[in-house]
Amino acid sequence: HFDAVPLAPPDVIFHLTASYKADTHAQKVNVGVGAYRDDNGHPWVLPVVRKAEQLIVNNHALDHEYLPIEGLASFTSAASRLILGKDSPALNENRAIAVQTISGTGAVRLGADFLARFRGTQTKVLLSNPTWANHKAIFNDAGFKDVADYAYYHPATRGLDLEGMLRDLRAAPEGSIVVLHACAHNPTGVDPTPAQWNTIADVMIAKKHFAFFDCAYQGFASGDLDRDATAVRYFATRTELFVAQSFAKNFGLYNERTGALTVVTKSPETAQAVKSQLAKLSRAAISNPPAFGARIVSTVLNDAALYAEWVENLKTMSGRIQLMRTKLFDALQKLGTPGSWQHILDQIGMFTFTGLNAAQSQAMGTKFHIYMTNNGRISMAGLTSSNVEYFAKSLDWIVRN
Protein backbone atom coordinates (compact mmCIF):
# COMPACT_ATOMS: atom_id res chain seq x y z
CA HIS A 1 0.00 0.00 0.00
CA PHE A 2 2.76 2.43 0.83
CA ASP A 3 5.50 1.68 -1.70
CA ALA A 4 4.93 4.94 -3.55
CA VAL A 5 5.18 7.15 -0.46
CA PRO A 6 8.16 9.48 -0.82
CA LEU A 7 10.29 10.44 2.16
CA ALA A 8 9.23 13.82 3.56
CA PRO A 9 11.97 16.32 4.35
CA PRO A 10 12.63 16.82 8.08
CA ASP A 11 11.17 19.92 9.75
CA VAL A 12 13.85 22.61 9.68
CA ILE A 13 13.58 23.78 13.30
CA PHE A 14 13.25 20.36 14.89
CA HIS A 15 16.09 19.10 12.70
CA LEU A 16 18.32 21.97 13.89
CA THR A 17 17.67 21.06 17.53
CA ALA A 18 18.50 17.41 16.82
CA SER A 19 21.77 18.43 15.12
CA TYR A 20 22.60 20.69 18.06
CA LYS A 21 21.97 17.89 20.54
CA ALA A 22 24.18 15.50 18.55
CA ASP A 23 27.04 18.05 18.40
CA THR A 24 29.71 17.41 21.05
CA HIS A 25 31.55 20.75 20.65
CA ALA A 26 31.90 22.53 24.02
CA GLN A 27 30.88 25.96 22.74
CA LYS A 28 27.89 24.91 20.64
CA VAL A 29 24.96 27.34 20.64
CA ASN A 30 21.32 26.77 19.68
CA VAL A 31 19.67 29.96 18.48
CA GLY A 32 17.32 28.06 16.17
CA VAL A 33 14.26 27.14 18.18
CA GLY A 34 12.13 29.92 19.67
CA ALA A 35 12.06 28.60 23.21
CA TYR A 36 13.08 30.57 26.29
CA ARG A 37 16.29 29.59 28.09
CA ASP A 38 17.66 30.95 31.37
CA ASP A 39 21.11 32.50 31.61
CA ASN A 40 22.62 29.02 32.00
CA GLY A 41 21.03 27.99 28.72
CA HIS A 42 18.50 25.75 30.44
CA PRO A 43 14.74 25.54 29.89
CA TRP A 44 12.92 27.53 32.60
CA VAL A 45 9.79 26.39 34.34
CA LEU A 46 8.13 29.59 35.52
CA PRO A 47 7.96 29.64 39.34
CA VAL A 48 4.27 30.57 39.13
CA VAL A 49 3.68 27.53 36.93
CA ARG A 50 5.37 25.31 39.54
CA LYS A 51 2.99 26.74 42.13
CA ALA A 52 -0.09 26.17 39.99
CA GLU A 53 1.08 22.60 39.28
CA GLN A 54 1.24 21.88 42.99
CA LEU A 55 -2.24 23.30 43.54
CA ILE A 56 -3.58 21.08 40.77
CA VAL A 57 -1.78 17.93 41.90
CA ASN A 58 -2.98 18.42 45.47
CA ASN A 59 -6.56 19.15 44.47
CA HIS A 60 -8.25 15.78 44.87
CA ALA A 61 -11.53 17.14 43.57
CA LEU A 62 -9.95 17.11 40.10
CA ASP A 63 -10.12 13.99 37.99
CA HIS A 64 -9.19 12.82 34.50
CA GLU A 65 -12.64 12.94 32.95
CA TYR A 66 -12.92 14.37 29.44
CA LEU A 67 -13.11 18.14 29.15
CA PRO A 68 -16.03 19.52 27.12
CA ILE A 69 -15.33 19.59 23.37
CA GLU A 70 -14.83 23.37 23.48
CA GLY A 71 -12.40 23.02 26.40
CA LEU A 72 -12.11 24.15 30.01
CA ALA A 73 -14.51 27.09 30.39
CA SER A 74 -12.52 28.86 33.13
CA PHE A 75 -9.49 28.73 30.80
CA THR A 76 -11.15 29.86 27.56
CA SER A 77 -12.97 32.76 29.20
CA ALA A 78 -9.75 33.95 30.87
CA ALA A 79 -7.83 33.56 27.61
CA SER A 80 -10.32 35.79 25.78
CA ARG A 81 -10.18 38.38 28.56
CA LEU A 82 -6.41 38.35 28.42
CA ILE A 83 -6.25 39.21 24.75
CA LEU A 84 -9.40 41.37 24.39
CA GLY A 85 -8.98 43.23 27.67
CA LYS A 86 -10.91 43.51 30.90
CA ASP A 87 -13.27 46.14 29.50
CA SER A 88 -13.73 44.46 26.11
CA PRO A 89 -17.08 45.55 24.58
CA ALA A 90 -17.21 42.34 22.51
CA LEU A 91 -16.94 40.19 25.65
CA ASN A 92 -19.27 42.33 27.69
CA GLU A 93 -21.88 42.15 24.90
CA ASN A 94 -21.38 38.37 24.51
CA ARG A 95 -20.17 38.81 20.93
CA ALA A 96 -16.87 37.01 21.55
CA ILE A 97 -16.28 33.33 22.24
CA ALA A 98 -13.29 31.02 22.54
CA VAL A 99 -12.59 27.36 21.96
CA GLN A 100 -9.62 25.54 23.49
CA THR A 101 -7.08 24.27 20.97
CA ILE A 102 -3.87 22.30 20.66
CA SER A 103 -1.66 25.30 21.43
CA GLY A 104 -1.23 28.12 18.91
CA THR A 105 -0.71 25.77 15.99
CA GLY A 106 -4.02 24.05 16.69
CA ALA A 107 -5.76 27.41 16.97
CA VAL A 108 -4.47 28.53 13.57
CA ARG A 109 -5.47 25.18 12.11
CA LEU A 110 -8.95 25.17 13.64
CA GLY A 111 -9.52 28.71 12.38
CA ALA A 112 -8.25 27.71 8.93
CA ASP A 113 -10.54 24.66 8.85
CA PHE A 114 -13.50 26.84 9.82
CA LEU A 115 -12.71 29.39 7.11
CA ALA A 116 -12.21 26.65 4.53
CA ARG A 117 -15.70 25.38 5.32
CA PHE A 118 -17.56 28.66 5.67
CA ARG A 119 -15.66 31.00 3.36
CA GLY A 120 -14.50 28.41 0.84
CA THR A 121 -11.06 27.21 -0.17
CA GLN A 122 -11.04 29.55 -3.18
CA THR A 123 -10.70 32.51 -0.82
CA LYS A 124 -7.30 34.11 -1.09
CA VAL A 125 -5.10 33.81 2.00
CA LEU A 126 -2.39 36.41 2.52
CA LEU A 127 0.62 35.75 4.74
CA SER A 128 3.36 38.21 5.64
CA ASN A 129 6.63 37.88 3.73
CA PRO A 130 8.38 36.36 5.58
CA THR A 131 6.34 34.52 8.19
CA TRP A 132 6.39 31.51 10.52
CA ALA A 133 6.90 28.63 8.08
CA ASN A 134 3.99 26.63 9.45
CA HIS A 135 1.44 29.24 8.33
CA LYS A 136 1.77 28.21 4.72
CA ALA A 137 1.67 24.51 5.56
CA ILE A 138 -1.45 24.93 7.71
CA PHE A 139 -3.47 26.89 5.13
CA ASN A 140 -2.37 24.60 2.33
CA ASP A 141 -3.31 21.52 4.33
CA ALA A 142 -6.67 23.09 5.22
CA GLY A 143 -7.32 23.08 1.46
CA PHE A 144 -6.80 26.71 0.46
CA LYS A 145 -5.81 26.95 -3.20
CA ASP A 146 -4.46 30.47 -3.22
CA VAL A 147 -2.01 31.11 -0.39
CA ALA A 148 0.09 34.16 -1.23
CA ASP A 149 2.34 36.76 0.41
CA TYR A 150 1.93 40.39 1.32
CA ALA A 151 5.01 42.59 1.56
CA TYR A 152 6.08 43.08 5.16
CA TYR A 153 9.81 43.29 5.77
CA HIS A 154 12.05 45.83 4.12
CA PRO A 155 15.59 44.39 3.97
CA ALA A 156 17.23 47.77 3.29
CA THR A 157 15.74 49.50 6.34
CA ARG A 158 15.37 46.29 8.35
CA GLY A 159 11.94 47.68 9.25
CA LEU A 160 8.35 47.48 8.07
CA ASP A 161 7.52 47.89 4.39
CA LEU A 162 4.21 49.64 5.14
CA GLU A 163 3.78 50.97 1.60
CA GLY A 164 4.28 47.50 0.11
CA MET A 165 1.97 45.92 2.65
CA LEU A 166 -0.86 48.39 1.98
CA ARG A 167 -0.33 48.02 -1.78
CA ASP A 168 -0.70 44.22 -1.53
CA LEU A 169 -3.73 44.44 0.74
CA ARG A 170 -5.39 46.83 -1.71
CA ALA A 171 -4.56 44.62 -4.68
CA ALA A 172 -6.02 41.44 -3.15
CA PRO A 173 -9.61 40.41 -3.99
CA GLU A 174 -12.23 41.75 -1.59
CA GLY A 175 -12.81 39.51 1.41
CA SER A 176 -9.38 37.89 1.46
CA ILE A 177 -8.12 36.27 4.66
CA VAL A 178 -5.13 38.15 6.05
CA VAL A 179 -2.94 36.55 8.71
CA LEU A 180 -1.43 39.17 11.02
CA HIS A 181 1.07 38.66 13.83
CA ALA A 182 -0.45 40.29 16.92
CA CYS A 183 2.98 41.22 18.31
CA ALA A 184 6.63 40.16 18.18
CA HIS A 185 6.53 39.19 14.52
CA ASN A 186 8.20 35.86 13.79
CA PRO A 187 10.79 35.82 12.24
CA THR A 188 11.58 39.53 11.77
CA GLY A 189 10.93 41.08 15.22
CA VAL A 190 9.43 44.04 13.35
CA ASP A 191 5.95 45.19 14.47
CA PRO A 192 3.79 48.00 13.08
CA THR A 193 3.38 51.03 15.35
CA PRO A 194 -0.14 51.76 16.69
CA ALA A 195 -0.56 54.45 14.02
CA GLN A 196 0.50 51.99 11.30
CA TRP A 197 -1.98 49.41 12.64
CA ASN A 198 -4.74 52.01 12.26
CA THR A 199 -3.82 52.52 8.62
CA ILE A 200 -3.67 48.75 8.06
CA ALA A 201 -7.14 48.42 9.65
CA ASP A 202 -8.50 51.19 7.37
CA VAL A 203 -7.39 49.31 4.26
CA MET A 204 -8.48 45.91 5.58
CA ILE A 205 -11.97 47.20 6.40
CA ALA A 206 -12.34 49.09 3.12
CA LYS A 207 -11.47 45.86 1.30
CA LYS A 208 -13.66 43.70 3.61
CA HIS A 209 -10.65 41.50 4.34
CA PHE A 210 -10.83 39.13 7.29
CA ALA A 211 -8.27 39.67 10.07
CA PHE A 212 -6.83 36.44 11.41
CA PHE A 213 -4.42 37.35 14.20
CA ASP A 214 -1.79 34.91 15.36
CA CYS A 215 -0.77 35.73 18.92
CA ALA A 216 2.04 33.48 20.11
CA TYR A 217 3.96 36.03 22.19
CA GLN A 218 1.59 38.13 24.31
CA GLY A 219 3.63 39.54 27.22
CA PHE A 220 6.81 38.44 25.58
CA ALA A 221 7.20 41.38 23.22
CA SER A 222 7.14 44.38 25.54
CA GLY A 223 6.77 42.60 28.88
CA ASP A 224 3.38 44.38 29.06
CA LEU A 225 0.39 42.12 28.36
CA ASP A 226 -1.95 44.99 27.48
CA ARG A 227 0.52 46.74 25.20
CA ASP A 228 1.11 43.49 23.31
CA ALA A 229 -2.64 43.22 22.70
CA THR A 230 -2.97 46.74 21.25
CA ALA A 231 -3.46 45.71 17.63
CA VAL A 232 -6.02 42.98 18.37
CA ARG A 233 -8.01 45.26 20.68
CA TYR A 234 -8.00 48.07 18.15
CA PHE A 235 -9.21 45.82 15.33
CA ALA A 236 -11.89 44.37 17.65
CA THR A 237 -13.44 47.83 18.00
CA ARG A 238 -13.89 47.94 14.23
CA THR A 239 -14.31 44.46 12.78
CA GLU A 240 -14.88 40.75 13.31
CA LEU A 241 -11.71 38.73 13.80
CA PHE A 242 -10.02 35.53 14.85
CA VAL A 243 -7.11 35.42 17.24
CA ALA A 244 -5.08 32.26 17.73
CA GLN A 245 -3.54 32.29 21.21
CA SER A 246 -0.59 30.22 22.32
CA PHE A 247 0.47 29.78 25.94
CA ALA A 248 3.64 27.93 24.94
CA LYS A 249 5.95 30.93 25.27
CA ASN A 250 4.34 33.22 27.85
CA PHE A 251 3.72 30.34 30.29
CA GLY A 252 6.63 28.18 29.13
CA LEU A 253 4.12 25.38 28.47
CA TYR A 254 5.60 24.26 25.14
CA ASN A 255 4.79 20.58 25.39
CA GLU A 256 1.46 20.95 27.14
CA ARG A 257 -0.15 22.26 23.95
CA THR A 258 -2.27 24.94 25.60
CA GLY A 259 -4.05 27.37 23.32
CA ALA A 260 -7.32 29.00 22.36
CA LEU A 261 -9.05 30.41 19.33
CA THR A 262 -10.88 33.59 20.33
CA VAL A 263 -13.48 34.91 17.90
CA VAL A 264 -15.05 38.37 17.83
CA THR A 265 -18.36 38.59 15.95
CA LYS A 266 -21.13 41.17 15.53
CA SER A 267 -23.86 39.51 17.60
CA PRO A 268 -24.33 37.00 20.44
CA GLU A 269 -26.28 34.74 18.06
CA THR A 270 -23.44 34.67 15.53
CA ALA A 271 -20.93 34.08 18.31
CA GLN A 272 -22.84 30.99 19.50
CA ALA A 273 -23.27 29.66 15.96
CA VAL A 274 -19.55 30.06 15.25
CA LYS A 275 -18.69 28.41 18.54
CA SER A 276 -20.91 25.44 17.78
CA GLN A 277 -19.28 24.96 14.39
CA LEU A 278 -15.77 25.25 15.84
CA ALA A 279 -16.72 22.61 18.40
CA LYS A 280 -18.03 20.38 15.61
CA LEU A 281 -14.76 20.70 13.69
CA SER A 282 -12.75 20.12 16.86
CA ARG A 283 -14.75 17.00 17.72
CA ALA A 284 -13.80 15.40 14.42
CA ALA A 285 -10.14 16.47 14.72
CA ILE A 286 -9.22 15.89 18.38
CA SER A 287 -12.55 15.09 20.10
CA ASN A 288 -11.62 17.22 23.11
CA PRO A 289 -8.49 19.05 24.27
CA PRO A 290 -5.94 18.16 26.98
CA ALA A 291 -6.53 19.48 30.51
CA PHE A 292 -3.27 19.96 32.38
CA GLY A 293 -1.91 23.08 30.67
CA ALA A 294 -5.36 24.65 30.57
CA ARG A 295 -5.74 24.07 34.32
CA ILE A 296 -2.37 25.72 34.96
CA VAL A 297 -3.20 28.80 32.89
CA SER A 298 -6.71 29.01 34.35
CA THR A 299 -5.36 28.74 37.91
CA VAL A 300 -2.98 31.63 37.30
CA LEU A 301 -5.22 33.91 35.26
CA ASN A 302 -8.13 33.60 37.68
CA ASP A 303 -6.16 34.43 40.84
CA ALA A 304 -5.00 38.00 41.43
CA ALA A 305 -1.88 37.06 43.42
CA LEU A 306 -0.75 34.37 40.99
CA TYR A 307 -1.47 36.67 38.07
CA ALA A 308 0.78 39.34 39.59
CA GLU A 309 3.49 36.74 40.02
CA TRP A 310 3.12 35.64 36.42
CA VAL A 311 3.61 39.22 35.27
CA GLU A 312 6.89 39.28 37.22
CA ASN A 313 7.96 35.97 35.64
CA LEU A 314 7.21 37.43 32.21
CA LYS A 315 9.39 40.43 33.03
CA THR A 316 12.21 38.08 33.99
CA MET A 317 12.02 36.50 30.53
CA SER A 318 11.56 39.65 28.46
CA GLY A 319 14.17 41.44 30.60
CA ARG A 320 16.81 38.79 30.01
CA ILE A 321 16.13 38.83 26.28
CA GLN A 322 16.45 42.60 26.28
CA LEU A 323 19.75 42.31 28.16
CA MET A 324 21.06 39.89 25.53
CA ARG A 325 20.14 42.40 22.82
CA THR A 326 22.25 45.02 24.58
CA LYS A 327 25.14 42.65 25.21
CA LEU A 328 25.24 41.39 21.64
CA PHE A 329 25.00 44.90 20.25
CA ASP A 330 27.78 46.15 22.56
CA ALA A 331 30.02 43.20 21.71
CA LEU A 332 29.66 43.87 17.98
CA GLN A 333 30.35 47.57 18.51
CA LYS A 334 33.53 46.69 20.40
CA LEU A 335 34.65 44.36 17.62
CA GLY A 336 33.87 47.02 15.03
CA THR A 337 31.87 44.50 13.04
CA PRO A 338 31.11 46.03 9.63
CA GLY A 339 27.51 47.19 9.10
CA SER A 340 24.84 48.68 11.31
CA TRP A 341 23.53 46.46 14.10
CA GLN A 342 21.00 48.89 15.51
CA HIS A 343 18.22 46.46 14.50
CA ILE A 344 19.36 44.08 17.25
CA LEU A 345 18.18 46.72 19.72
CA ASP A 346 15.11 47.81 17.75
CA GLN A 347 13.54 44.45 16.90
CA ILE A 348 10.90 43.13 19.28
CA GLY A 349 10.30 39.83 21.03
CA MET A 350 12.27 36.63 20.95
CA PHE A 351 13.96 36.98 17.59
CA THR A 352 16.49 39.09 15.77
CA PHE A 353 16.50 38.98 12.01
CA THR A 354 20.25 39.44 11.69
CA GLY A 355 20.48 40.08 7.97
CA LEU A 356 22.85 37.14 7.42
CA ASN A 357 22.14 35.34 4.16
CA ALA A 358 21.64 31.59 3.83
CA ALA A 359 25.32 30.79 3.18
CA GLN A 360 26.44 32.89 6.14
CA SER A 361 23.79 31.38 8.41
CA GLN A 362 24.93 27.89 7.45
CA ALA A 363 28.57 28.78 7.93
CA MET A 364 27.76 29.78 11.52
CA GLY A 365 26.86 26.13 12.01
CA THR A 366 29.65 24.41 10.10
CA LYS A 367 32.42 26.70 11.30
CA PHE A 368 31.31 27.69 14.80
CA HIS A 369 28.72 25.10 15.90
CA ILE A 370 26.07 27.83 16.11
CA TYR A 371 22.71 26.51 15.01
CA MET A 372 20.36 29.00 13.33
CA THR A 373 17.85 28.95 10.47
CA ASN A 374 18.97 29.86 6.95
CA ASN A 375 16.87 33.02 6.91
CA GLY A 376 19.29 34.68 9.35
CA ARG A 377 16.90 34.55 12.29
CA ILE A 378 18.32 34.01 15.77
CA SER A 379 16.44 33.37 18.99
CA MET A 380 17.81 35.84 21.52
CA ALA A 381 16.84 33.42 24.29
CA GLY A 382 19.55 31.05 23.06
CA LEU A 383 22.19 33.62 24.04
CA THR A 384 23.56 33.79 27.59
CA SER A 385 26.14 35.84 29.50
CA SER A 386 28.65 33.06 28.85
CA ASN A 387 28.11 32.53 25.10
CA VAL A 388 27.23 35.99 23.79
CA GLU A 389 30.90 36.98 23.29
CA TYR A 390 31.58 33.77 21.39
CA PHE A 391 28.48 34.37 19.30
CA ALA A 392 29.54 37.95 18.54
CA LYS A 393 33.08 36.93 17.55
CA SER A 394 31.71 34.20 15.29
CA LEU A 395 29.28 36.61 13.67
CA ASP A 396 32.09 39.12 13.23
CA TRP A 397 34.23 36.54 11.44
CA ILE A 398 31.37 35.49 9.18
CA VAL A 399 30.59 39.08 8.20
CA ARG A 400 34.26 39.80 7.40
CA ASN A 401 34.97 36.61 5.45
Does 378 engage in binding with ligand PMP (CB under 6 A)? no
250 binds ligand PMP, rule: CB under 6 A: no
Q: Which of 44, 132, 310, 341 is catalytic?
A: 132
- Catalytic residue check, 214: yes
Q: In the chain, what's the furthest Cα-to-Cα distance?
A: 63
Q: Which is nearer to ligand PMP, 293 or 365 (CB)?
A: 293
d(CA 26, CA 32): 17
Pairing of β 177-181 and β 210-215: parallel
Residue 100 in the binding site for ligand PMP (CB under 6 A): no
**Per rule CB under 6 A, count of chain residues that contact ligand PMP:** 12
Torsion over CA: 76, 237, 223, 216 (sign): positive
Residue 2, judged by CB atoms within 10 A of its CB (0-12, 13-18, 19+), counts as exposed
**Residues 364, 370: contact at Cβ < 8 Å?**
yes
Task: Give CA separation, 151 vs 133, 181, 205, 221, 349, in Å.
Answer: 16, 13, 18, 22, 20
Instruction: Pick the catalytic residue from 214, 228, 327, 341.
Output: 214
Query: CA-CA distances (angstroms) from residue 215 to 27, 39, 124, 244, 374?
Result: 33, 26, 21, 6, 24
Verify binding: residue 52, ligand PMP, rule CB under 6 A. no
Of the ranges 99-107, 228-236, 280-288, 382-390, which one interacts with ligand PMP (CB under 6 A)?
Answer: 99-107
CB nearer to ligand PMP: give 126 or 398. 126
**Least CB distance to ligand PMP at residue 199 (A):** 22
Torsion-angle region of 332 (φ positive above 0: left; ψ -120 to 50: alpha; else: beta): alpha
132 binds ligand PMP (CB under 6 A): yes
Nearer to ligand PMP, 378 or 398 (CB): 378
When asked if residue 186 is in the footprint of ligand PMP (CB under 6 A), the reply is yes
Alpha carbons 77 and 71: distance in angstroms, whole number: 10
Which amino acid would we find at residue 68? Answer: P
Per-residue binder mask for ligand PMP (CB under 6 A), 211-230, x = binder: ---x-x--------------
CB of 216 to ligand PMP, least distance (A): 4
CB of 376 to ligand PMP, least distance (A): 16
Q: How many CA atoms lie within 13 A of 265 on its CB side?
A: 16
When the beta carbons of 104 and 192 are compared against ligand PMP, the nearer one is: 104
Active site residues: 132, 214, 249
Residues that bind ligand PMP (CB under 6 A): 34, 103-105, 132, 181, 186, 214, 216, 246, 248, 259
